[in-house]
Amino acid sequence: MKVLIIGAAGMVGRKLTGALLSQGRVGSRDISQLTLADVVPPEFGAGTTPVNAQSFDLSAPGAAARLVGERPDVIFHLAAIVSGEAEADFEKGYRINLDGTRHLLEAIRLESATEPYCPRLVFTSSIAVFGEPLPADIPDEFPLTPLTSYGTQKAIGELLLADYSRRGFVDGIGIRLPTIVVRPGKPNKAASGFFSGIIREPLAGMEAVLPVSTSVRHWFASPRAAVSFLLHAATLDTTSLGQRRSLTMPGLAATVGDEIEALRRMAGDKAAAFIRHEPDPVISRIVAGWPQGFVARRAEQLGFVAETSFDEIIRAHIEDELGGSLG
């Protein structure tokens, strides 16, 4: 089968690429061709699967049609302008996150004009489709009331995915990812960055700043869980989804205090001592509007599995990023 990853150069895209190349298959079907597309040509490791990496502008007319013309059986659409940038650059956010998604859907629809074509499309949505007032644990059937342009664009993507799937143009599934921790790499300026930073930096013997209260509760899964969601979504029997094509992924509802206690258990008081509490009212206010937790029953019943403790999330980071032990 042919597989296409749009947005393959991002953190989740790189990990998905790695998993596909190491398995050589999706479900029970061998991958004959893996195409990696992103603004910059994605990098990838060695393997036996033929890989075609290319630079690609999702907002350019015709660009999606060129990729879709290869008739991939499974398309992972991970490309997006992230929350902060979509808020800062209104036009760019709509151009990539809304128009880009629509170009892709239209390219798929028009590709079927010559001969039947209905690929599986796995679309990464986000818990940013939800906005306050929110219950502490958000059920599967809850209105989408995004409070950012990014969340609005993702919610519109979910609606389009459902309509194009209902019409038989695509076999779509949208997965709303939890906040992914522990993100590897350098600290970034995302408002959510500290959730990873207070684990990642102490494990590397570096100081991390905590800008919010330890009572802040949020919804998490590891990068490894995120990849498992994508792979499961690529092979799931979508008839069980009915018309509701987007799912809140399972995750772990945990407080910052829970994070710190898990770090202490895994790496001792010395690691936890690297966390410096420096309250930031701006970040605290942003984070206060975020979802605290979900009851992701539909996704669980469909076989999606996430971590059930922060210890597991830290262990995944140690195994996948730090060579398996705390050197």
Q: How far is the CB of 23 from a copy of itself (least distance, A)?
A: 34
- 3-state DSSP assignment of residue 114: coil
Q: Which of 145, 213, 238, 284 binds a copy of itself (CB under 8 A)?
A: 145
Size of the site for a copy of itself (CB under 8 A): 22
DSSP label at 249? P
Calpha distance 127→104 (Å, rounded): 22
Binding mask 74-113 for a copy of itself (x = CB under 8 A): ----------------x------------------x----
Q: How far is the CB of 129 from a copy of itself (least distance, A)?
A: 9
Taking CB under 8 A as the binding criterion, the range among 144-152, 178-186, 225-233, 317-325 that sits at the site for a copy of itself is: 144-152
Taking CB under 8 A as the binding criterion, the range among 161-169, 180-188, 195-203, 220-228 that sits at the site for a copy of itself is: 161-169
DSSP string over 172-236? EEEEEE-EE-SPPSS----TTHHHHHHHHHHHTT--EEE-S-TT-EEEEE-HHHHHHHHHHHHHS
Residue closer to a copy of itself (CB basis): 92 or 109: 109
The yes or no reply on residue 66 touching a copy of itself (CB under 8 A) is no
Q: Which of 142, 184, 190, 312 binds a copy of itself (CB under 8 A)?
A: 142
Calpha distance 27→25 (Å, rounded): 6
Calpha distance 176→180 (Å, rounded): 11
The yes or no reply on residue 131 touching a copy of itself (CB under 8 A) is yes
**Cβ of 303: how many Cβ atoms within 10 Å?**
11
Closest Cα partner for 66 from 4, 14, 1, 156?
A: 4
Q: Which of 143, 281, 323, 327 binds a copy of itself (CB under 8 A)?
A: 143
Closest Cα partner for 178 from 306, 19, 318, 84?
A: 306
Contact 146, 129 (CB under 8 A): yes
Q: What's the token pair of residue 276?
A: 């410096």
38 contact partners, CB below 8 Å, separation of at least 6: 6, 7, 8, 9, 10, 13, 55, 56, 79
Is 150 catalytic? The answer is yes
Taking CB under 8 A as the binding criterion, the range among 62-70, 143-151, 216-224, 299-307 that sits at the site for a copy of itself is: 143-151
Q: Which of 28, 48, 215, 243 binds a copy of itself (CB under 8 A)?
A: 243
The yes or no reply on residue 162 touching a copy of itself (CB under 8 A) is yes
Query: Measured between alpha carbons, how far apart are the two ends of the chain, in Å?
Result: 40
The yes or no reply on residue 114 touching a copy of itself (CB under 8 A) is no
Q: How far is the CB of 89 from a copy of itself (least distance, A)?
A: 12
Residue closer to a copy of itself (CB basis): 83 or 228: 83
Q: How far is the CB of 160 from a copy of itself (least distance, A)?
A: 7
Calpha distance 87→90 (Å, rounded): 6
Binding mask 294-313 for a copy of itself (x = CB under 8 A): --------------------
**Hey, which residues are catalytic here?**
150
Contacts to a copy of itself by CB under 8 A = 90, 109, 131, 141-147, 149, 152, 155-156, 159-160, 162-163, 166-167, 243-244
